[in-house]
Structure 1
Amino acid sequence: MKYLRVELRYPPELMHPIHRLVDESDAIERDVLVQGTVLDEPDDTFLFYVEGDIEVYADALRSVDRIREFDVTRIDDSGHYVFLTQRRDAVDEAMFGPLQRTGVVVVPPVDFRANGIARLTIVGDQGPLRDALGELPDRIETTVLRIGEYDWRQHLFDPELTDRQFDALAAAVESGYYESPRTATVEDVAERIDAAPSTASEHLRKAESAVMTAFMELRDVA
């Protein structure tokens, strides 16, 4: 079963007002769609995780006509859950339609970032996945960041390593590079992945940075 890690880049005129807030305001550090219910009804229901100034976020929600209602639950000083319903619009229809088909599942969360970017994971059969991507609106730039065999356990904690970074990290663990005391060198790792020591070292540095950053973000959420 294949999965695609996809990045969508919305032009300013198609961005949701709250996504535009994430793009333009330093008050919101993170906006993640944790789960959503999209039915054959005019209103959709979503659960978001939000980090930042929740009053700024709530004021923005109140200013959007199609937000029907919302409820905020505080987690800690900067983290909140926001449960809301909103009226679907034409952009939503164009986005949700292609992904609502037999053989395709959108696996949450959907991470909204600056510059109009949303990142999400899509799982399914090869044909339906291809058709879904092909029917996404042309004005929304679509980039496939990664293709692979889906494993739910991996997505519990995924620092989004490249294949070479993963190979280097796996070789380092297997060879004892991270043992204490260390029983392998960068040269040993390089030999295992058939790369120059300088290349292996660079892969390890980038992989370690990605892993630790993802870990801290996971701890922040937890």
Structure 2
Amino acid sequence: MKRVRITLDPAGDYAPPLYRRLAGGAPSLDRAHIINWNVAAPPTAFLLWLRGDYRRFEAELEASRNVDEYELLPLTDRECHCFLEGAVADAARLLFENFTQGSLITVPPIVCNDDGTNTFSIIGTAADIQNAVEGVPDGVGVTVEAVGGETVAPKSAIGRLSERQREAVETGLEIGYYDVPREATAADVARELDCATATAAEHLQKAESTLIGALLER
């Protein structure tokens, strides 16, 4: 058996409106994971883990035309599980099903990154994994992040960051953003990344939140 960790960058019908809210489009959420799912037949059901002001996000669930039913299951004031059921475009369903063919098993969670991508691990035979990666539609970007390893999930905390978050943290380290006293600002990081200051600050904040949570085993 073989393990591969991949990142998908869906667009168009492959990225339904609700997914785009989970993957960086909802200011009320700091982090969103897809813990489990059932896409075998309509309606589609998902179990999510959310961190942030999930009560504000509930208003978006209530207003969504694609959500038939949902329930929030609070864990803390800032974290909850969310069960939801609703309609998913055929394109998005086929993208999920592509990673359930043959021997393949998708290992939860699917991490919804703030840049619109999602990252997860799959295990199975080398041939089935290759077929799945090659079977990703043209409208979806795919990056193989890691191959093999001793465990199914990433062992290091840094492995939980999106590519852009890692780049922001590494840039911050290089130019003195994390020095004491601080020698660079979020604006300096943004200049190196060629992005807006608010975008760089968001990458840094979410990366720091993920890393601290991982170190505290949350």
TM-score, normalised with respect to structure 2: 0.69
Q: Structure 1 regions of 5+ residues with no counterpart?
A: 162-209
Deviation of residue 158 (structure 1)?
A: 3.8
Alignment of 1:124-143 (within 5 A): 124-143=124-143
* Partner Cα distance (1:219, 1:74) in 2: 20
SS at match of 1:130: helix
Deviation of residue 62 (structure 1)?
A: 1.9
Deviation of residue 134 (structure 1)?
A: 1.0
Q: Larger Rg: 1 or 2? A: 1
* Partner Cα distance (2:60, 2:45) in 1: 17
In structure 2, the residue matched to 1:111 is 111
* Partner Cα distance (2:115, 2:83) in 1: 24
> Across the two proteins, how many residue pairs are aligned to each other?
170
Q: Structure 2 regions of 5+ residues with no counterpart?
A: 160-206
Tell me: CA distance 1:73–1:219, structure 2 relative to 1, closer, same or farther (3 Å).
Answer: farther
In structure 1, the residue matched to 2:100 is 100
Q: State whether residues 94 and 137 of structure 1, in contact with CA within 8 Å, keep that contact through their aligned partners in structure 2.
A: no
Q: Percent identity?
A: 20
Deviation of residue 101 (structure 1)?
A: 1.0
* Partner Cα distance (1:150, 1:38) in 2: 29
Q: Over the residues paired in the alignment, what is the CA RMSD in angstroms?
A: 2.6
Alignment of 1:176-195 (within 5 A): none
* Partner Cα distance (1:108, 1:146) in 2: 16
Q: State whether residues 72 and 80 of structure 1, in contact with CA within 8 Å, keep that contact through their aligned partners in structure 2.
A: yes
* Partner Cα distance (1:220, 1:15) in 2: 30
Q: State whether residues 158 and 214 of structure 1, in contact with CA within 8 Å, keep that contact through their aligned partners in structure 2.
A: no
* Partner Cα distance (2:25, 2:70) in 1: 22
TM-score, normalised with respect to structure 1: 0.68
Letter in 1 for 2:34: L
Letter in 2 for 1:122: I
Q: State whether residues 109 and 120 of structure 2, in contact with CA within 8 Å, keep that contact through their aligned partners in structure 1.
A: yes
Deviation of residue 35 (structure 1)?
A: 1.3
Deviation of residue 29 (structure 1)?
A: 0.3
Alignment of 1:1-222 (within 5 A): 1-11=1-11, 14-22=14-22, 23-39=24-40, 41-149=41-149, 151-152=151-152, 155=153, 157-160=155-158, 214=211, 216-217=213-214, 219=216, 221=218
Tell me: CA distance 1:219–1:86, structure 2 relative to 1, closer, same or farther (3 Å).
Answer: farther
